[in-house]
Amino acid sequence: MAFLTHFPLAPIHHHSSSLFTRFILSSKPKTLLILAAISSPQTATSHFSSTSTINPSSSLEILQDIPIAEEAPLQIAKEKLFIPPETEISSEKPPRILRGSNIVLSKYARDAQVISAEFVKSSVETEACPSDGSPEFALVGRSNVGKSSLLNSIVKRKKLALTSKKPGKTQCINHFRINDSWFLVDLPGYGYASAPNELRKDWNKFTKDYFLNRSTLVSVFLLIDASIPAKKIDLEYASWLGQNQVPMTIIFTKCDKRKKKKNGGKHPEENVQDFQDLISEYFEAVPPWIMTSSVTNQGRDEILLHMSQLRNYWLKH
Ligand code: GDP
């Protein structure tokens, strides 16, 4: 397959000190025993202040309550972890990893709870998006991947994402303001089996322009359905993001679903592993990934913590 070539991950996307520019790991393979629970639906207690300013000296105290791994130990090799910049790990100082993910926590993790969420606007082009300079995260995925459900789960509202499902809005860039300080962005789903070719080409151009030109985009959150085997279109999408050095986090959805013969007979955990193996062929270092379920809320707090550390780092640099 033509797209299965090696792309450097380390995207330097608009910001010279992007969170992704400095996490290339030592090439020496070194396996640390890292505890990461892979399938424990949980509601973690996180007590974060609502301020978005950072005081690194207080970070250790705050990080005591985060949902780090403690069950179902699994070994993740050091080179398969996402290690944020300014975060050191060693055998003396083992990393703190978010549950059901490969993400190491940094001192920038903070401010995890959603206090307010409001729909701001639907835009038909990048230039028309809100221009107040707040950092944003864009959710994208194949239609039916569970994007609206995840968006609602993140903001703890049943119907917020309905706004972007209204006829006429599904092909728009939909901005939601969170805690008056950052945006969640709902992008058009891709891979509609029934969409006419014309329309498919349109969304392609439209979202790609957004990815390449939106300077406040901190990371794309690419949603992948973990209840079925990887689809070619998902691999192509991940590959395109990598090739264009667009920072990406993979969100595996529907991790509560048990294996079914018609879906390839694999557990979500196996599909997650398979997807990583497939993309490892075209990424030099693994991107951050998190397992989620909108049914059990698995991964919800982890997504928010990951977003907070990306966002706070971005704001500082
Ligand atoms: P979208 O098209 O990507 O916005 O997907 P939706 O959020 O509308 O979800 C598509 C279908 O998948 C719906 O039937 C949802 O109930 C179901 N779904 C979404 N998320 C999950 C999940 O985490 N677990 C399970 N079991 N089903 C889900």
Does pLDDT of 56 surpass 50?
no
Beginning with the edge strand found earlier in the chain, give each strand of the sheet holding 182-186 in spatial order: 117-123, 173-178, 182-186, 136-141, 217-225, 248-253, 289-291
Average pLDDT over residues 126-146: 95
Mutation test of ligand 1: which of 294, 296, 303 has the most ligand atoms closer than 8 Å to its C-beta? 294
Average pLDDT over residues 304-317: 95
Which atom belonging to ligand 1 lies closest to the Cα atom of 161? Answer: 4
Q: How far is the CA of 17 from the centre of ligand 1 (A)?
A: 36
Report the C-alpha gap between 69 and 289 in whole angstroms.
14
Report the C-alpha gap between 290 and 305 in whole angstroms.
11
* Atom 27 (ligand 1) nearest CA: 254
Of 76, 80, 84, 14, nearest in space to 307 by CA: 84
CB atoms within 10 A of CB 29: 9
Which atom belonging to ligand 1 lies closest to the Cα atom of 296? Answer: 23
The residues lining ligand 1, judged by C-beta closer than 6 Å to any ligand atom, are: 141, 143-149, 189, 253-254, 256-257, 293-295
Could you tell me how far CA 117 lies from the centroid of its own chain?
19
Does pLDDT of 237 surpass 60?
yes
**Using 50, 70 and 90 to split pLDDT, how confident is the model at 66?**
low
Which residues, in sequence order, are CB contacts of 19 under 8 Å at separation 6+? Answer: 84, 85, 218, 219, 247, 309, 310, 313, 314
Length of the chain: 317
Report the C-alpha gap between 102 and 157 in whole angstroms.
27
* Atom 17 (ligand 1) nearest CA: 146
Average pLDDT over residues 142-149: 92
pLDDT at residue number 94: 81
pLDDT at residue number 76: 79
